[in-house]
Chain A
Amino acid sequence: METFPLRRSANTSPESPTYQSMTKKNTNNGSRATFVSSPDEDMIDIQTSRPAGGGDLHRTTRLGDDEDDGITHFVVDSVAYSGTQESGDIPGIGQYDDFHTIDWQRDIARDRMRHRYIVKKKQDSLWNLIEGAHDAWSGWLCVLLVGLFTGAIAGVIDIGASWMTDLKFGICPQAFWLNQEQCCWSSNETSFEGGNCSQWVTWPQLLGHSRTGAGAYVISYLFYIIWALLFAALSASLVRMFAPYACGSGIPEIKTILSGFIIRGYLGKWTLIIKCVGLILSVSAGLSLGKEGPMVHIACAIGNILSYLFPKYGRNEAKKREILSASAAAGVSVAFGAPIGGVLFSLEEVSYYFPLKTLWRSFFCALIAAFILRSINPFGNEHSVLFFVEYNKPWIFFELIPFIGLGIIGGLIATVFIKANLYWCKYRKSSKLGQYPVTEVLVVTVVTALIAYPNPYTRMNTSQLIYLLFSQCGISNSDDMCDYKRNFTTVKPVIEFAPAGPGVHRAVWLLILALILKLIMTIFTFGMKVPCGLFIPSLCLGAIVGRIVGIGMETLAFHYPQIWLFSGECSTADDCITPGLYAMVGAAAVLGGVTRMTVSLVVIMFELTGGVRYIVPLMAAAMASKWVGDALGRQGIYDAHIALNGYPFLDSKDEFQHTSLAADVMQPKRNETLSVLTQDSMTVDDVEQLLKETEHNGYPVVVSRESQYLVGFVVRRDLNLAIANARRMVDGICGQSLVLFTAGNAPQTLGPPPLKLKKILDMAPITITDQTPMETVVDMFRKLGLRQTLVTHNGRLLGVITKKDVLRHIKQMDNEDPNSVLFN
């Protein structure tokens, strides 16, 4: 019953034209010719035709008519192959080993078969109808759940991190769960000194000292360092103890996984828990890192765990990646409160296979996640990020020049960061430093805390600093940065143009110091063995640069209002230059340079600011930064880390520009033999011997070693499982049993019963000829998501090209070490 609808769909498979033309030549196959020419025909036809086909096959084989036989085989068996795919008699067939590449074509075909089966059964009973309906909406249900959980967990992380960050400074004794801002939230004190209030007790106060003074400063300093050390130590040791995969940002790995690679446990339960907890701890430790990048990893882990509730996604790696793409969108959506930006991030940066269906699901998932986080309201500001600012100030056309300048500076900073960070990571990988991961975290924490505390801008949470830099100077902002010599005699509520006071100069110097410190510390921090993201530090670097440039421009415009550039707009003495806008543009520039995002970055930034007015400045800066970055160093940080780790990631953005042919790349090289299986002449012992001697992940099956006519392809894992299963389940299978990849009954011989393995044989492997240009081959690997392709010459099997071979070849052509590709 099960095989029936599946078999029918195989008629529409792309191979049927070949088959048709071949069978026309082959006159004794009349019955099957009719069955193909009418693909919608009923089941009975197929069934009657099949034994006939099998019989034919057998006869021709014995006649030794190799040429026709090979082709008829191919089609007849591809029909049966597709049918038996789903049934899965043997446990574990169709799964993948750790660190292996998935076969997108095979998985998608499997899902199509399963879908057909369900559609067909729908008419049978009411229960089947419900089952079919459940199947149809399970994708949406799954992304709904992913959105709910992602939003909730993001809320937990936001609240937990902001509470724990303030724990370094003091505590709210009446309600210990509130952070400093929330503690003073409802206090009605007219003073306005750095948000302090009597309810919030700093550590020196708790020890009986006064709030200010040298002694209090030293105690605060000590407490700051001790808490930072404690949090960092906890984070590093939890990661080391429970889930080593939770360290780092996770985006390079997510990119690799989405491109069709298996890393078992990378998106598992423990990784999720430890990543959340470790993220709270490492953000609170005051390290120069952010929680936005790991949020993508967390969301993907949630997606992976929830997809197991729906067998349609949980058991099919290619389908699972659709859910993971949507989860990645939800991750960015909650990280920045930017649902559309999240969808575009998933599309532009992480996803590999992104059909429209996935786009809509990502959209929905991001929406739900953002909605949940927004209703949790973690920061009490009605938004899902701390540094949300609302802007409605115009910018003047001339300002595009400084904006592009900021883009160039951003590109430069990003290049310096990428190069230095990569150098440090390589050093860590190859030297003794890599043996002391926890010590490294502790040392970096102590150094960061020691340097960061004296400077108020580095002492505070990085998100708060970004908020401060983004916001414009108003009545509610009493920071040094807004110390302008304004007089309040005019009635207008707007902040008028004024000369900078001494506070601004002080702030600029402190900001320059903060910039240097953040840049250096981030280089050393990113890649440590704690959960750490990169978005917030790079946004912060850019915001500092932007703010400084903005203040400079403002001062220039104030002192030289007669310059023709400023004369038009700045004569009215307000709304002339907004340093906060420069900070925003600068932030976009550095982040764009580091990650090489463009569209999604601009959308994220304008969703952060709630104003479409600044799209052009942001676009200009992002573009300039990308150009500068691309000119100075080819790769963004994520691609650079993928290359550093040697993940088998075939970038769909790069072009292949060499003129090599498939014959140059394929395995085996000259003087080596290709390990193949024959369709009906090898014994179980022979096969097991081959499996022992070679380490290939799959073997082509040929008609005979002499002819090398291709029959199909069989995967090592499946072969192992099938043999082990048969030895357990089927009586009489021993070392001398013949292994048959053909259909029909075996010839009646005296020996032990044959082992039929046609079920695990892929009868439709993608083949190319040896003269195919590599450009086409690379394109096929990218667009079809192949795992391997078989190379033929004059119709005879010549060799195999795997994804690893392609990656090695690309590396070799780019004059890099081809052995850096580690996995298969």
Chain B
Amino acid sequence: MKSYTLYSCLFLASTFVLINAQSYEDKRCKCICPSISSVLNNTEFKNHTSRIMYVTNVPPNQCNCDGVILPRIGADIGSREQEFCPRCVCKYENRNTTIIKVVVIIVIWVISILVIYMAFLIILDPLLNKKIKGNYQEHTNEDDEISAGPMSHNMSVRGNVLNRVGHQQDKWKRQVKEQRKNIYDRHTMLN
């Protein structure tokens, strides 16, 4: 339990640090045009695939050729803006980097917790179980589990949370074992 609180503290701390670290823009106006040479007709025609891209942060109503392109290259193309502008594509887009950040961090945390738990179950659990088995022999008898379930539930004291968690974990482990047998050994499902 202690390790979990530690992890969550770390998690919160790292989240706050990262949020303050760097802020990317959440809005942009992106314009793509062919190279200027296509209207000027003075250079070789080979380079027809080259494009110019402009990304600026302007209000949506100014996200067009007049608002973005002409202030920059108006001088270069001279009076041919009437030909050049229709070939440009301008798009106003927005995103939310905070959501992306939070989601990616959550995903990383979930994956690492699962991997740690998996490592724990593979490496440490067999060792721990050996000790416990020696002490509590009666718990290993799984046949009486179902009939004894409600009874022990009634009798259990509230303070016995840890035991109940362990009980749930055992139940879950048995279910997973059953699923594994169905799928990986007997091949009766999900082939």
Binding site for B on A (CB under 8 A): 91, 155-156, 159-160, 163-164, 174-178, 182, 185-192, 234, 237-238, 240-245, 247-248, 253, 263-265, 270, 273-274, 277, 280-281, 376-377, 380-382, 425-426, 428-430, 434-435, 437, 474-476, 478, 483, 485-489, 491-493, 503, 527, 529, 641, 644-646, 724, 822
Contacts and interface: CB of A to CB of B under 8 A. Distances in A.
A178 B96 contact: no
Interface residues of B, number: 64
Contacts of B184: 240, 244, 434-435, 437, 529
Given A160-B103, A377-B94, 17 more contacts: A159-B107, A175-B24, A175-B101, A177-B100, A177-B104, A185-B55, A187-B55, A190-B53, A240-B180, A244-B183, A277-B111, A281-B111, A429-B191, A475-B32, A475-B89, A645-B188, A724-B147
A377 to B, nearest CB: 6
B102 to A, nearest CB: 8
Contacts of B145: none
A425 B106 CA distance: 35
Contacts of B191: 425-426, 428-429, 434, 527, 641, 644-645
B129 interface: no
B88 interface: yes
B34 A163 contact: no
A54 B172 CA distance: 47
A242 B175 contact: no
B97 A178 contact: yes
A714 B32 CA distance: 73
B114 A238 contact: yes
B56 interface: yes
B89 A476 contact: yes
Given A175-B22, A178-B100, A489 B32 contact: no
Contact of B103 (A159, A380, A475, A644): A159
Nearest to B56: A188
Contacts of A645: 188-191
B14 to A, nearest CB: 11
B82 interface: yes
A187 B56 CA distance: 9
A102 to B, nearest CB: 18
14 contacts: A156-B107, A160-B103, A160-B107, A163-B100, A175-B101, A185-B28, A192-B32, A192-B50, A192-B52, A192-B53, A238-B115, A245-B189, A476-B51, A488-B48
Contact of A380 (B57, B95, B122): B95
Contact of B187 (A159, A380, A434): A434
Contacts of B106: 156
A488 B87 contact: yes
A822 B188 contact: yes
B76 to A, nearest CB: 13
Contact of B25 (A186, A273, A527): A186
B8 interface: no
A279 to B, nearest CB: 11
Contact of A163 (B45, B82, B104, B182): B104
Interface of B: 18, 21-22, 24-25, 28, 32-34, 38-39, 41, 45, 48-57, 82-83, 86-89, 93-97, 99-101, 103-107, 110-111, 114-115, 118, 121-122, 147, 150, 172, 175-176, 179-180, 182-184, 187-191
Contacts of B187: 429-430, 434
Contact of A247 (B39, B99, B122, B190): B190
Given A91-B150, A265-B179, A380-B93, A253 B190 contact: yes
A245 B172 CA distance: 13
A619 B88 CA distance: 35
A381 B41 CA distance: 35
A377 B27 CA distance: 13
A185 B25 contact: yes
B69 to A, nearest CB: 11
Contacts of A274: 114
Contacts of A488: 34, 38-39, 48, 87
